Amino acid sequence: MFSREWFIYVFGRWILLSGIAGAALQVLLRGQIGIPDFPAFLLNQLILACVFWYVDKYIFQRHLGKVKELFKFPRVKGQFDTRREFAKIAEEYNQFSDDFHKDPDQPQIWLHRYLDLYHSVEMMERVLRDRGIDVDREYHRIVEENRKRGLYD
């Protein structure tokens, strides 16, 4: 948690940018425009929230790469490894495949199994990320390869 990036974010973004900008904006709203303290504070916070929404969005989008939504499912309790997750993916795939082949045109038959498979793949990604594997770099490499092959619009 207390990484170099964390200190830069906390001191750079929160203390320096928000603190100084907030204080300067408060003085401007109170002193120059004459808005009473509490309404000036609320307006100050609203203005800063509108500005820093984009600043934080940029910071985190840049930090997380182009992967905007990492996980749809909550983390499953317990300690997991790649072998366990591979076995779970294989199990979920087999169940999905069995249900899918009953009637591919009826998603209500196989949708639950598909989402179970998706969840097991997400869990494998979590295990890899927890081990420090740069999943985003590989993701971007695959996207670039597919873009060069003309697979995307």
Per-residue pLDDT tens over the stretch 88-114: 999 999 999 999 999 999 999 999 999
Report d(CA 137, CA 153) in Å as an integer: 21
Report d(CA 130, CA 128) in Å as an integer: 5
Contact 136, 67 (CB under 8 A): yes
Report d(CA 107, CA 44) in Å as an integer: 51
Q: How many CA atoms lie within 13 A of 137 on its CB side?
A: 5
Tell whether the model's pLDDT for residue 47 goes beyond 80: yes
Digit-coded pLDDT (tens) for 52-73: 787 777 767 665 554 445 688 8
Domain boundaries, the chain: 4-64, 82-148
The total number of residues shown for the chain amounts to 153
User: 71-102 b/e with 16+ CB inside 10 Å = b?
Assistant: eeeeeeeeebeeeebeebbeebbebbeebbee
Model confidence, pTM:
0.55
Q: Cα 78 vs. chain centroid, distance in angstroms? A: 22
pLDDT for the residue numbered 2: 67
